[in-house]
Amino acid sequence: MAPSFDHLPDPEEEDYDEDEELDFSDLRERYEVQLEQGLDTFVVIDGLPEVTEETRPKLIKFLLRKLNGVGKVREDSVHMPLGDDGKSHRFAFVEYATPLEAATACKTLDGVSLDKKHKMEVNKLTDIERYGREGRIDEHYTPPKLEEFTEKEHLRSWLADPSGRGRDQFAMYKDNNVLIDWNNEKDTPETIVERPNWTESFIQWSPQGTFLTSVHAQGVQLWGGPSWLRQKRFAHPYVNLVDFSPGEKYLTTWSHRPISIPEDGHPQLAAEDDGKHFVIWDIETGKPLRSFPNAEVPSAGNDEAGNPIKRKMQWPAFKWSADDKYVARLTQGQSISVYDLPTMLLVDKKVIKIEGVMEFEWAPATPRRDGVKTYEQLFCYWTPEIGSNPAKVGLMSIPSKEVVRTLNLFSVTDARLHWQSDASYLCVKVDRHSKSKKSLATSLEIFRVKEKGVPVEVVDGIKDTVVNFAWEPKGDRFVIITTAEVAAPSAVPPKTSVAFYCPEKVKGAGVGNFKHIRTYDKKNSNAIYWSPKGRFVVVATVSSQQSFELEFYDMDFEGEKPESDKDLTANLQLMNTAEHYGVTDIEWDPTGRFVATSSSVWKVPMENGFHMYDFKGEQLREEPVEKIKQFLWRPRPPTMLTKEEQKLVRKNLREYSKVFEQEDADRGASADLAVVEHRRRLLEEWMAWRHTVEQDLEDEREALGLPADPVEHLIKKTDESEDQVIEEIVEEIVEETEEIVG
């Protein structure tokens, strides 16, 4: 019922007791006018030089210049009291027009130097009231309580597969659920954990598989351990992208929205992070190391309509050196900033100026150049032609900042940098234009980083443009995909060719020149997926409308080698082909035993799910998963066995495999046995049920006096003699020849 005046007690009424004391204290407390709020526009400036009556206006004038940068301050709103001795107390009160201006003044002017000796300390008057008043803060230091040590779960427990089979895990993000499964090859995957709404936009594994990353509007969370507990939180609001350092020590987060630190602070970020886009975090401590604004991308000029061309954002923007020691960011066309970790300070306190620099890439492993004994990390970069200077590819050593190798190139349209996983080679894919700038051709400039003087070998003779390139991991062979036409936005993608290269055989140690093995023409392939252990490679057509081929190649086929390839260090063989309708993503498991292909609802609206193949391309499993968004194998950390131990394992492989094969066979047999047993039971149950039903029916018919067959008596018996036999003789001429008898 709505309140109305009828229900209010009438003060005239007798039962109203005027003397009754009402306790308003709670209301008073709540609604009392807070006079202090009026002081929000005041700030207190400490750390000023001592002045006298005469010099005071001069200082105020000087201060106003600084203060007016934030908001409007008039001369008479700066109040600088003088003491009895006619000298100032080295502080001043300033009144701004609004509390907001006062707040920004505290943020921006605090710590600003006036001259060499004096530094302003700007605080809100209310803060001084709040914290500075005597008794508000305990004068005695009480040490913070140390929390009891509790042992955390082992973050790498998953490597010891409870079934003892060394299986791998994968994560799936489908509809709103995230689940993590053991891969069971042919059999249904075993779900370890499934949680609804575990993430808000996507999931990501850390590079060594320790953490599963979930992304939320409030920030990023890392999960791990056998019970999948939350390990860390990185509260970067509205985070869009996440990038880990290769050793899982640091993490970069990026949001397209600038960070805004609320008035009352932020649990992890500080006031100086306000307005920034990138944050680099230390994973172990969970603390931010440094934040950065978005790089100002110089406009790439205007397009035909006069609008500035928008450049795609480079991700990862901050690139890590292989050992988590440095992180670097490119300012396109100008410089590369290399920061030391974990201090996040510029190496030598200077950015590395490289005029025109387009792109750079760290060596993915700590390089070991011939004759170089000191510690170094390498990165390569390239610069386009500027004026009459040629385009350049350079290798720079950090921390010495020495350019160890450069290569001049002409007529360059674009270049791509591809490191081999051990940093033994660097391939620079150079797209060159002819003089008329009409046709394009590609050459591959391969730097042999580990050899003395870093010699460069050129692989040319490629007439078409190379659209994809991939090194064999830990190997020295590569696959390229070329296309004759320059990819134009047409409905039918152009035909492509897939070419394989390997080094020539040479006497003694060393690697021979790179030679072409074979090219397969008239393909639709657009993607190359090497097994993480090398040797096997999948060439596929992904995210295409028309074709969905997967081709499994072996580079070291154990069969006969064609005569023409006898000088090559490879024996190429197509092992198998497969098709997965609507395939969008392909990923090898970290051990190189299986390939999972998936079709994500983000890219294809129907028939979502994943297929599992073994390395030979044999399909093991096909599983439709409605609304699957991501399928991600859990990466593994690098092996802890030494080279010698690994060699020993390889030597005794036959013995080990015998044991495993036996185990597999036993498990298969017992599974088969269970299936057969289940079927037998089903069959017996069915037969027994049928038997009783049939018996009941027969009995019921008999009781009703009906014949056993309900229909037989209805059909009129036809006299056998009336039956006619109709014979149809069909003559067929098999052959007809005419001979003229002379």
Partner 1 sequence: MRPILLQGHERALTQIRYNRDGDLIFSTAKDQHVCAWYAHNGERLGTYHGHQGALWTVDVDPTSTMIATGAADNTVKLWDIKSGKCLKTWDFDTAVKRVEFSEDGSRLLAVTEKRMGFLGTIVLLDIKLDVNAEQSSEKSLVITCEESKATVAGWSFLSKYIIAGHEDGSVSKYNAKTGEQIDNVQIHELDYSITDIQWSQDRTYFITASKDKSAKIVNVDDLEIMKTYTTDTPLNSACITPKKDFVILGGGQDAMGVTQTSARQGKFEARFYHKIFEEEIGRVRGHFGPLNTVAVDPQGRGYASGGEDGYVRIHQFDKGYFDFTYEVERQAKAAAQL
Q: Which residues of 122-140 are buried (b: 16+ CB within 10 A; e: fewer)?
A: bbbbbeeeeeeeeeeeeee
What is the SS3 assignment for 94? strand
Minimum distance, C-beta of residue 261 to partner 1, in the bound complex (Å): 50
The whole-angstrom separation of Cα 321 and Cα 336 is 13
Q: Which is nearer to partner 1, 119 or 627 (CB)?
A: 627
CA 233 to chain centre: 17
The whole-angstrom separation of Cα 595 and Cα 344 is 39
The radius of gyration of the chain's CA atoms, rounded to the nearest angstrom, is 39
61, 29 Cβ separation under 8 angstroms: no
228, 214 Cβ separation under 8 angstroms: no
Minimum distance, C-beta of residue 710 to partner 1, in the bound complex (Å): 5
φ and ψ of 152, to 5 deg: -90, 165
Q: Which is nearer to partner 1, 640 or 711 (CB)?
A: 711
What is the SS3 assignment for 101? helix
CA dihedral of 67, 68, 70, 72, whole degrees rounded to 10: 120
Structure tokens, 573:
């063989």
Q: Which is nearer to partner 1, 538 or 578 (CB)?
A: 578
Q: Which is nearer to partner 1, 303 or 626 (CB)?
A: 626
Q: Which is nearer to partner 1, 661 or 699 (CB)?
A: 699
379, 419 Cβ separation under 8 angstroms: no
Minimum distance, C-beta of residue 350 to partner 1, in the bound complex (Å): 59
Q: Which is nearer to partner 1, 661 or 685 (CB)?
A: 685
The whole-angstrom separation of Cα 95 and Cα 77 is 5
Q: H or E stretch including 112? A: none
Minimum distance, C-beta of residue 673 to partner 1, in the bound complex (Å): 12
Q: Which is nearer to partner 1, 153 or 672 (CB)?
A: 672
DSSP string, 532-601: TTSSEEEEE--S-SS--EEEEEESB-SSPPPGGGTTBS-B-EEEEEEE-TT--EEEE-TTSSEEEEEE-T
Under the phi-then-psi rule, with left for phi > 0, alpha for psi from -120 to 50, and beta for the rest, what region is 645?
A: alpha
Q: Which is nearer to partner 1, 305 or 704 (CB)?
A: 704
Minimum distance, C-beta of residue 690 to partner 1, in the bound complex (Å): 8
CA 571 to chain centre: 35
Q: Which is nearer to partner 1, 486 or 683 (CB)?
A: 683
Minimum distance, C-beta of residue 609 to partner 1, in the bound complex (Å): 10
Minimum distance, C-beta of residue 526 to partner 1, in the bound complex (Å): 21
Minimum distance, C-beta of residue 659 to partner 1, in the bound complex (Å): 29
Q: Which residues of 165-184 are buried (b: 16+ CB within 10 A; e: fewer)?
A: eebbbbbbbbeeebbbbbbe
379, 357 Cβ separation under 8 angstroms: no
Minimum distance, C-beta of residue 683 to partner 1, in the bound complex (Å): 6
544, 492 Cβ separation under 8 angstroms: no
Residues with Cβ within 8 Å of residue 554, at least 6 apart in sequence: 535, 536, 571, 572, 573, 575
Minimum distance, C-beta of residue 472 to partner 1, in the bound complex (Å): 35
Q: Which is nearer to partner 1, 13 or 728 (CB)?
A: 728
The whole-angstrom separation of Cα 431 and Cα 443 is 7
**Residue numbers at the binding site for partner 1 (CB under 8 A):** 581, 606-607, 624, 676, 679-680, 682-684, 686-687, 689, 693-694, 697, 700-701, 704, 706, 710-711, 714-715
Q: Which is nearer to partner 1, 521 or 684 (CB)?
A: 684
What is the SS3 assignment for 7? helix
Minimum distance, C-beta of residue 24 to partner 1, in the bound complex (Å): 58
Which strands sit side by side in the sheet containing 536-540, from one edge to the other? 527-530, 536-540, 549-554, 573-579
Nearest residue to 585 (alpha-carbon basis) of 637, 550, 626, 534: 550
Minimum distance, C-beta of residue 605 to partner 1, in the bound complex (Å): 10
CA atoms within 13 A on the CB side of 50: 5
Minimum distance, C-beta of residue 535 to partner 1, in the bound complex (Å): 34
613, 597 Cβ separation under 8 angstroms: yes
Q: Which is nearer to partner 1, 150 or 546 (CB)?
A: 546
φ and ψ of 667, to 5 deg: -65, -40
Minimum distance, C-beta of residue 498 to partner 1, in the bound complex (Å): 26
Q: How many residues belong to the chain?
A: 742
Minimum distance, C-beta of residue 606 to partner 1, in the bound complex (Å): 6
Q: Which is nearer to partner 1, 573 or 619 (CB)?
A: 619
E-strand stretches of 410-464: 412-419, 425-433, 440-448, 456-459
Q: Which is nearer to partner 1, 715 or 726 (CB)?
A: 715
Structure tokens, 674:
């269970």
Minimum distance, C-beta of residue 691 to partner 1, in the bound complex (Å): 12
Q: Which is nearer to partner 1, 174 or 448 (CB)?
A: 174
Largest CA distance in the chain: 156
Q: Which is nearer to partner 1, 504 or 700 (CB)?
A: 700
The whole-angstrom separation of Cα 333 and Cα 295 is 12
Can you tell me which residue has the tokens 């017996």? 684
Q: Which is nearer to partner 1, 82 or 706 (CB)?
A: 706
Minimum distance, C-beta of residue 599 to partner 1, in the bound complex (Å): 12
Nearest residue to 258 (alpha-carbon basis) of 283, 233, 292: 292
